[in-house]
Structure 1
Amino acid sequence: MLLNEHKSKQLFDKAGVPVPEGVAVFPGEEDSFKTDLPLPWFLKSQVLTGGRGKAGGILRIDDTNDFPQTARALFDLEIRGQRVPFIRVEPGAAIAREFYLSLTVSRERRCILLSVGREGGVEIENLGADNLLVQEIRLPGGLAPNQIRAAFFHLGLEKEQLKDFAALLTSLFNGMLDNGLLMAEINPLIITPDNEFVALDGKVEIDDNYADLDPGMEAFYQREHATPEENTARDAGLSFVKLPGWVGLMVNGAGLAMATMDLLNFSQLSASNFLDLGGAADQKRMQTGLELLFDDRQVKAIFINLFGGILSCEKVALAMKGALGGASPKKPIVVRMSGKDAESGLRILKDLGVDNLHMAKDMQSAITILETLKPADAAVIDFPTPMDRPAGGKPADCGYRSNATFGIDRDTPILVQGITGREGQLHTRLMQEYGANIVAGVTPFKGGQEVLGVPVYNSIAEAKRAHDIGASIIFVPPRMAADAVAEAAFNEIPWAVCITEGIVQHDMLAVFEQIKHSPTRVVGPNTPGIIVPGQTKIGILPTMPFTPGPVAVLSRSGTLTYEVADRLTAANIGQSLCVGIGGDPFIGVSFVDMFEMIRNHDETKAVVVLGEIGGRAEENLADYVMETGFDKPVISFIAGQTAPPGKRLGHAGAILEKSGGIESKLLTMSKAGFAICPSLETVAITTANALK
């Protein structure tokens, strides 16, 4: 949740960071506006983008009579494609000196970065190498006095200012932790002639996971910055991003949704939105999603693309039937269903006997149908041709050897953390049905019970006294899940698979720092888990797409894992193991860690890597392959290639950076010899060729 300046300053004030007085003024209020703030006033456009000053979005007035017309001029502005929903009015500030100060969560360094600059400005990174001092703050340790002093001396402040500077920086840091902030930037931080520090401008980003857990954070959300569609989707718990095309999109699972968006865009059938129904595609969500797309004049046709994993296509079809109420859809709908209960789901929809509803047997058939529905005046949006590169040959053998082994099989004894909860019980039963060797469960204060024939303990320490444990799977709510990971690691359980999604990023940063010397391999969080086809599963993966064979599938997405495994199985290519490493920014086991094990895994002859935009996980893997001479074929597919920069698409980690971009990621992988698949359609045949 990115906040505008006005809301950022409200949060700063709450945290004890000094800010100027300020008042919000909305369109229609300019003629009646009155305030006791002293002149001159600065009228500041509130938009979620930089460069307001250069665009004329900040204006000064010295006479109250000038306010109405000046305010109206700002309301009429469009700054980098954003309208100005309201303005903040502040009195002018006397400035003796100005600086830059920020705290940001760093995905790359897995810590919080404290940055101070001797000068502030809109292009802080271009003010010279000596301007910025960047220090790493590790959680749970926090901000150290020596780091405060280093920042203080870097800025060249006077000795008598240390106490106030330390108080401001400590308040900002505590405010960051207390409010789940991913970024708290003050630019500029000023010193007044009276030696007072004031945050003259500010920018804050709140972790969406934290906002979901703390209802009080809703007060900082500014609905005016989003479209009505985005607000409706947000209220319904849907992941929705508006795009410029004409095909409305509804998919279950962020990875598959990104891949489908790419397929449409690369097929010149541009998507009008990204909409992930998630795993709860009930009638209410389906109805909300359909109404969003029916009411959007930009949408001319709708593509519903579902892969039934844990989610049943039959239940989704019944939800859709209820949402349509027996009537023909207002706009053409193309439905593709695969996986669990797909045949019965498609039959339910076909039996509706309504117009404007088209069934597709696969994604390519859906594209063919959508081409017939393309309006003559459809906007043409240029997207780069997707990269299609055959394998570039094996990296040279450099003598590197790994001692790591995978070691999970049908005999691995499994413990379930949170076994007495609804999800814990459901998936314990499903894992047992697949043959998983579940020996114990843990729920605090539920020790002594038995669930599905499995003894329950109060702690892992208790369970370890009675059982050998090779792996733990975590079904614990987000508030307690990070501690559950720590418990598994402190007890040195060889594997800990954290299914939970929605964990606050600060919590995982702290836990990974605390357990960095533990031998436990953490998978996730926000992972579907691990399956060794024909032997065991430690997760929530559906079993029907998987069959034993020679190909390892490693993925950042659950639905993409199921989709690709199903396609491989249909092509008579089985899987040796499948691991979802997790879709969050901070995860345990990486692609590189898995490759360390897979190189010694005799059952694996090739590897399929299913990546996403955001982060450097795939680039790091490519570097590893080149540096260590990994000698097994690697087939790769990256979802989200046509994503708009800076937008989060479902997974917290799936954000396309405004610098770098997807081309760099694909080129790096190609240089390492990976076979690059332009679409899901080519993964199976590319894998078959690699196995020859």
Structure 2
Amino acid sequence: MLLDEQASKRLFREAGVSVPDGECVEPGSEDGFRPSFPPPWYLKAQVLTGGRGKAGGVLRVDDARALPGRARELFAKDIRGHRPPYLLLEPAVDFVRECYVSFAVSRDRASLVLSVSPRGGVDVERSADVLTQVIPLPAGPAERNMRAAFFHLKVGKEYWPGFRELVLRLFDAVRQNSLLLAEINPLVLTRDGRWLALDGKAEIDDNAAALRPELERWYDPRHHAHDDVRARDEGMSFVKLGGWVGCMVNGAGLAMATMDLLNLAGLPAANFLDLGGAADSRRLDRALRLLFEGRDVRVVFINLFGGILSCEKVAQALADVLAGNEPAKPLVVRMAGNGASEGRRLLEGLNLHGLTLVEDMTQALAVLEGFGPRDLNPPRIEAGDGRAAQIADLSPVLAAALRGATSGVYARSFDFDAQTRILVQGITGKVAALHTRLMLGYGSRIVAGVTPFKGGLEIEGAPVYDCVREALRHHEIDASIVFVPAAMAADAVLEAAEAGIPWVVCITEGIPQQDMLATLPKLRRLGTRLIGPNTPGIIVPGRTKIGIMPTDPFTPGPVAIFSRSGTLTYEAAARLSAAGMGQALAVGIGGDPLIGLGFADCLAMVNDDARVKAVLVLGEIGGRAEEDLADYVSRTAFSKPMAAFIAGRTAPLGRRLGHAGAILEESSGGVAGKMQALSMAGIHLCPNLESIPRVMMGLLAAQRTGNVERARSASFQLHDG
């Protein structure tokens, strides 16, 4: 939840940080507006984008008579695609120095960082003189951190007490409001010796906001499109795009892959809509209304791969919504996976002319072509084409400060089999109990469960204990799977690690990022390996699974799949299995920004695994997971042939698409940077989902003939097709 300047400074003021006086100018109030402080003033457009100053969004007003005209000028201004819903008027401030200070969650460093620069303002990006320090949570900045930051600003020692107080209060704002970013630029030193936040920017963690209703007061719907607000109210991930094919998909990874498929085929997507794992009649009705009401939408493509979500249940919900009537706009439906056959039969029985069922995505494209003009110049995205991420909401100085190396690579194998002894944390919950039964049905060895204050119960034959240490007194445990609600999940992960359990699989999504920042360093010290959070888990086909993935797509074989997306994992496994290529294992590393094992960690664990003959990586836009993977392969000369598919290649820059991990941010080179890094490391690039079996078959054939070097060096360039 990104806040505009006025809201950010109001939040800072509540934490005790000094900010200028200010008053809001609403549209239509320009002529009668009478501020309580005299000119000169600065009039500022309130928009959720960077570069406002250089775009003319900040104007000086020396004469009160000029204020109405200047206000109308700003209200009419388009600032990087944003029109200000209101303006902020502040008195001019007389200062002697302007600096920069921020606290920010660094995804690259997996830590909170404190950054300062002795320069600030609109040209701060020209300064390379930035000091960045890692700040531990929950402890916060130590005296040495604050002293180092202060001395870096090169101001007189008499200003130290005020600066120290400012940093502590800004950190308090970060902790009290679950901020991912608290940036003051510029921070000025006034002539009377005060530190003043002349401009500010704050971002609240969406995961924390979902758990803390009091943070909702900072959300301002005036900055967002009507459709975005409606989708947010329904808990759906929705991004409006410029095409004419409406998309409704389950899972962010598959939704991004579908968007790419349409855009690259010249059938531009009108939106990104991740239905998620819930699709009752009410939710489906709201989603369809959102798409049908889009003026540019000519047809809606529903693309589902049933995993946890049953296609049959979605079909029934769709039948309930249509109630025997033709849809408002044509529907093209593709279903695969769990309940797909039953779902198709149910929809076929509706006998509606506006509903077309297709077998696969290729057939879907052929049908969709009949509903609108094909774009004869679809986007081309090739490795090394120079298309880099540009984050409007992230200043260059902050982007530079956030770059850094993440944790080291683990060097042990995935030693899971039918004898792996599993603990289920949160076992008495409805979802956990269901998946305990499903894991047992697959042959997984569930030895116990834990739910505080529920000790003595029995779930699916597994005894329930009040805490992990109590369970360990009665059972040997190799791995724990966490189904604990987001507010308590990080603590549950740490409980397992402190008890000495070597593996933890955290299914929970929506864990506040500050919770994970405090947990990950402790896991590294304890030696526990974490898969997730926000993961479907791990499966060793035919042996065991510790997770929530459906088992139908997976068959035993030679390919290891490492993925950031659940639905893409199921899609890829089903395609490989249909082509006769089973899987040695499949691991969902997790879709959140801050996770345990990364791609590079996973590679290290299969390098000496004789079961694994080739590796398939399913990546997404956002973060540096793919770049780190490529770096690891290049540094270690990883010996096994690899291929990669990246979803979200045609995504709008800087927009969140589904889960929190899917965002272009920090030092990620964007999709081109990822593709170039992977290609240069000798990793084959799959242009689409359909190409995965062909590419993997070629890699395995080369591996069997001993031509591994050729298999690693001949990389595929991404193209339209």
Residue in 2 that maps onto 1:384: 380
Deviation at 1:55, TM superposition (A): 2.2
Is 1:672 the counterpart of 2:670? The answer is no
1:18 matched to which residue of 2? 18
Mapped to 2, the partners of 1:223 and 1:135 lie a distance apart of: 35
Aligned-pair distance for 1:118? 0.9
CA contact (8 A) 1:643 1:656 kept: no
CA deviation after TM superposition for structure 1 residue 61, in Å: 2.3
Secondary structure at 1:645 match in 2: coil
Residue among 264, 286, 297 paired with 1:266: 264
**Partner residue of 2:199?**
201
Amino acid of the residue matched to residue 601 of structure 1? D
Residue in structure 1 matched with residue 620 of structure 2 by the alignment: 612
Shift of 1:381: 6.4
- C-alpha contact 2:538 2:546 (8 A) present in aligned 1: yes
Preserved contact between residue 252 and residue 281 of structure 1 (Cα < 8 Å): no
2:660, 2:219 → 1: CA distance? 18
Structure 2 matches for 1:32-43, cutoff 5 A? 32-43=32-43
CA distance in 1, matches of 2:438, 2:569: 18
Q: Give the C-alpha shift of residue 15 in structure 1.
A: 1.4
RMSD over aligned Cα atoms: 1.7
**Alpha carbons of 1:379 and 1:22: their partners in 2 closer, same or farther (altered >3 Å)?**
farther
Residue identity in the other structure for 1:6: Q
* Secondary structure at the counterpart of residue 82 of structure 1: coil
Among candidates 459, 475, 478, match of residue 467 of structure 2: 459
Give the structure 2 partner of residue 491 of structure 1: 499
| Aligned equivalent of 2:447, options 439, 442, 459 | 439
What's the counterpart of residue 684 of structure 1? 693
CA distance in 2, matches of 1:441, 1:500: 16
Q: Is the 8 A contact 1:645 1:657 kept in 2?
A: no
Q: Which amino acid aligns with 2:268?
A: S
**CA–CA separation in structure 2 for the residues paired with 1:533 and 1:55:** 56
- Return the alpha-carbon distance in structure 1 between the equivalents of residues 291 and 375 of structure 2: 17
Mapped partners of 2:669, 2:597: distance in 1: 24
Q: Please say if residues 383 and 679 of structure 2, whose CA atoms lie closer than 8 Å, have aligned partners that are also in contact.
A: no
The answer to whether the 8 Å contact 2:53/2:122 transfers is no
Contact residue 306 and residue 338 of structure 2 kept, 8 A = yes
Q: 2:58 corresponds to which residue?
A: 58
Q: Which of 530, 542, 545 does residue 537 from structure 1 map onto?
A: 545
Q: Who is 2:640 aligned against? A: 632
Aligned positions of 1:21-420 closer than 5 A:
21-127=21-127, 129=128, 131-375=129-373, 382-385=378-381, 404-420=412-428
Deviation at 1:379, TM superposition (A): 6.6
CA 1:440–1:373: 2 relative to 1, 3 Å: same
Task: Report SS of the residue matched to 1:119.
Answer: coil
CA distance in 2, matches of 1:267, 1:179: 44
Identity value in percent: 57
Deviation of 1:205 (Å): 1.2
Contact 2:184 2:198 in 1 (8 A): yes
SS at match of 2:619: strand
Contact 1:387 1:677 in 2 (8 A): no
Is residue 653 from structure 1 mapped to residue 653 from structure 2 by the alignment?
Answer: no
Q: Secondary structure at the match of 2:235?
A: coil
When structure 1 is superposed on structure 2, of 647-656 and 621-630 the one drifting more is 621-630
Distance 1:500 1:251 in 2: 21
* Deviations 1:620-652 (CA, angstroms, capped at 9, x unpaired): 112222222221111211111111111111121
Distance 1:634 1:423 in 2: 35
TM superposition shift of 1:382:
4.2
Aligned pairs (5 A) from 1:495-644 = 495-644=503-652
Q: CA deviation at 1:436?
A: 0.8
- The AA in structure 1 aligned to 2:144 is N
Query: How far off is 1:107 after superposition?
Result: 1.0
Q: Whole-Å Cα distance in 2 between the matches of residues 252 and 512 of structure 1?
A: 29
Does the CA contact (< 8 Å) of 2:54 and 2:122 recur in 1? no
Structure 1 moving runs of 4+ over 6 Å: 378-381
Task: Give the SS at the match of 1:517.
Answer: helix
Partner SS state of residue 174, structure 1:
helix
Please say if residues 526 and 583 of structure 1, whose CA atoms lie closer than 8 Å, have aligned partners that are also in contact. Answer: yes
Deviations 1:437-466 (A, max 9, x none): 000001111111111111011111111111
Deviations 1:299-318 (A, max 9, x none): 11111100000110011111
Gap runs ≥5 in structure 2 = 385-408, 702-721
In structure 2, C-alpha distance between the alignment counterparts of 1:402 and 1:319, rounded to whole Å: 45
- In structure 2, the residue corresponding to 1:31 is in which secondary structure? coil
Q: Is the 8 A contact 1:490 1:518 kept in 2?
A: yes
Return the alpha-carbon distance in structure 2 between the equivalents of residues 548 and 423 of structure 1: 27
3-state DSSP of counterpart to 1:530: strand
Q: Distance in 2 between matches of 1:123 and 1:268?
A: 40
| Matched position secondary structure for 1:8 | helix
Q: In 2 relative to 1, CA 566–387 (structure 1 residues): closer, same or farther, beyond 3 Å? A: farther
- Matched residue type, 1:45: A
User: How far apart, in 2, do the equivalents of 1:544 and 1:160 lie?
Assistant: 69
Q: Give 1:472's aligned residue.
A: 480
Q: Partner letter of residue 59 of structure 1?
A: L
The one-letter code of the counterpart of 2:2 is L
- Mapped to 1, the partners of 2:326 and 2:188 lie a distance apart of 62
What is the alpha-carbon distance in structure 2 between the residues aligned to residue 558 and residue 445 of structure 1? 32
**Residue type of the partner of 2:694?**
I
Q: Which residue of 2 aligns with 1:8?
A: 8
Distance 1:177 1:421, change over 3 A: same
Is contact 2:188–2:197 with CA below 8 Å preserved after alignment? yes
TM-score of the aligned structures, taking structure 2 as reference length: 0.91
Tell me by how many angstroms 1:488 deviates: 1.1
**Structure 1, unaligned runs of 5 or more:** 389-400
Secondary structure of residue in 2 paired with 1:678: coil
Q: How much does 1:62 deviate?
A: 3.2
CA–CA separation in structure 2 for the residues paired with 1:123 and 1:282: 51
Letter in 1 for 2:442: Y
Return the letter of the residue paired with 1:4. D
Distance 1:675 1:574 in 2: 19
Contact 2:305 2:336 in 1 (8 A): yes
Distance 2:146 2:550 in 1: 51
Deviation, structure 1 residue 403:
6.0
The residue type paired with residue 549 of structure 2 is L
Shift of 1:126: 1.6
Find out whether 1:421 has 2:429 as its counterpart.
yes
1:169 is paired with a residue whose SS is helix
What is the alpha-carbon distance in structure 1 between the residues aligned to residue 313 and residue 377 of structure 2?
35
Post-superposition offset of 1:326? 2.1
Quote how far apart the aligned CAs of 1:385 are.
Answer: 4.1
Do the aligned residues in 1 keep the contact of 2:267 with 2:375 (CA within 8 Å)?
no
State the Cα distance separating 1:380 from its structure 2 match: 6.5
Instruction: Tell me the amino acid that sits aligned with residue 647 of structure 2.
Output: A
Shift of 1:387: 5.8
In 2, Cα distance between the equivalents of 1:668 and 1:192? 47
SS at match of 1:68: helix
Q: Is the contact made by 2:265 and 2:378 (CA closer than 8 Å) also made in structure 1?
A: no
